[in-house]
Amino acid sequence: MKLLLTLMALLLLDSFPAHAQRTPDLAGIAYEQKQGARLPSKSAFIDADGGDVGIGELLNHAPLLLVLGYFHCEKLCGATRLTLLRAAQKAGLSAGADYLFVAVSIDATENADAARHARDADFAAVAPNGTAEGFYYLTGKPDDIRALAEAVGYRYREGAQPQTFIHPIGAVVVTPSGVVSGYLSAIGSAPGELSKAVQVAAAGDVTARASPALLLCFDFDSTTGQYTFAIIKLIRLGAVVMALVLATMIYREFRKGARA
């Protein structure tokens, strides 16, 4: 009986994809929510048209919808921006008047061309409401990127492949004075949720903490449109349950045979 169970376990392990055995270390990759923290107003970036933009220049106007990621990402970064833009559009919000959309690359090797390409692709897909002054796609130097990420509790690290990153996805809502108001889980964000977050920030208030169960960008496989590692975990769990069921059935039949 023990030999049979051992063989079953080996067969199940052998059936898993090879890459499923090499899950990256995800410790610390998350949003450490810092409601009430202030953005580093002196941090400077380059916009999609090659102009200089300081974070301080974006304040004292409207709430910021701050999205960190990187523009050449082939996974969830683009989907995050589009989801937020669509939610704002459905909520009747206008960029420039009701909020400022600020997408910042965490990849210091990206330049204005990458930002412009991402902006043009987003606009072609969504055609969001607002003026040109309501949208900012920014790249910057490592120190400025890190300062901004640290201020909002954005924890990420480089991926296994060059110029890739393992990072959380979502958005930070910032008051016009530069204080972190709240956090949004971007994928699946409802227009009402985003609208309420913007209204709270516009009033200068701070929201309650969001759910800590934010998605990680590396979980999403753009080639299949699936959450790869999440599915692998479910497959593993199902395989273990199946093994236990089979083992129980075999054991019962073995006991029946022994009594006979």
User: In terms of DSSP bridges, do strands 100-105 and 64-69 run parallel, antiparallel, or are they unpaired?
Assistant: parallel
Q: Which structural domain range is residue 16 located in?
A: 2-22+222-259
How far is the C-alpha of 135 from the C-alpha of 64, rounded, in Å? 10
Q: Out of 197, 215, 233, pick the residue that ends a domain.
A: 215
Residue with tokens 């083992």: 247
Give the total number of structural domains in the chain. Answer: 2
Which CA distances in Å does 162 have to 108, 109, 138, 255?
13, 11, 21, 57
Indicate if 8 and 102 belong to the same structural domain: no
Q: Please tell me the predicted confidence (pLDDT) of residue 196.
A: 92
Do residues 122 and 239 both lie within one domain? Answer: no
Query: What is the token pair recorded at 84?
Result: 């937020």
* Whether 209 and 234 share a structural domain: no
Measured between alpha carbons, how far is 181 from 59 in angstroms, rounded to an integer?
A: 13
In a domain, 37, yes or no: no
Q: Are the C-beta atoms of 138 and 104 separated by less than 8 Å?
A: yes
* Residue 184 Cα distances to 150, 169, 214, angstroms: 17, 9, 9
119 in the same domain as 204: yes
Q: Residue 101 above 50 pLDDT?
A: yes
User: Do the domain assignments include residue 92?
Assistant: yes
Whether residue 254 sits in one domain with residue 150: no
CATH of the domain at 141: 3.40.30.10
- Is residue 132 situated within a structural domain? yes
Reported confidence tier of residue 260, pLDDT bands at 50, 70, 90: low
207-239 pLDDT, tens per residue?
A: 877 655 444 444 444 444 444 444 344 445 455
Q: What is the pLDDT of residue 161?
A: 75
pLDDT at 244: 67
36 within some domain: no
List the Cα angle 111/114/116 in 5-degree steps.
Answer: 105
Same domain, yes or no: 255 and 230: yes
- Residue 226: enclosing H or E segment and its boundaries? strand 226-227
Decide if 249 is inside a domain.
yes
- What is the sign, positive or negative, of the torsion defined by CA atoms of 29, 35, 36, 39? positive
User: Which of these, 174, 144, 225, lies nearest to 67 by C-alpha position?
Assistant: 174
Same domain, 241 and 124: no
Q: Which of 6-10, 45-49, 176-180 has the lowest mean pLDDT?
A: 6-10
For the chain, the first-to-last Cα distance in angstroms comes to: 17
pLDDT at position 78 is 86
- Kindly state whether residues 163 and 250 are assigned to the same domain: no
Q: Are residues 187 and 228 in the same domain?
A: no
162 and 66 within one domain: yes
**Whether 151 contacts 111, CB under 8 Å:** no
- The residue assigned the tokens 């971007």 is 186
Final residue of a domain: which of 215, 230, 247?
A: 215
220-221 and 226-227 as β-strands: parallel, antiparallel, unpaired? antiparallel
149 and 254 share one domain? no
Looking up tokens 């073995």 gives 254
Same domain, 17 and 114: no
CB-based contact 27:243 (threshold 8 Å): no
- Is 62 part of a structural domain of the chain? yes
What lies within 8 Å, CB to CB, of 169 at 6+ separation is: 69, 76, 77, 80, 185, 186, 187, 214, 215, 216, 217
**Looking at the predicted structure, is the pLDDT value of residue 11 above 60?**
no
CA distance 200 to 30: 23
pLDDT of 142 > 90? The answer is: yes
Q: State what percent of residues in the chain have pLDDT above 90.
A: 47
Q: Is residue 29 part of a domain?
A: no
Q: Bigger pLDDT: 77 or 123?
A: 123
Whether 33 maps to a domain, the answer reads no
Q: Can you name the residues that pair with 46 across neighbouring β-strands?
A: 52, 139
Distances (CA, A) of 45 to 12, 32, 102, 118, 138: 50, 23, 11, 16, 6
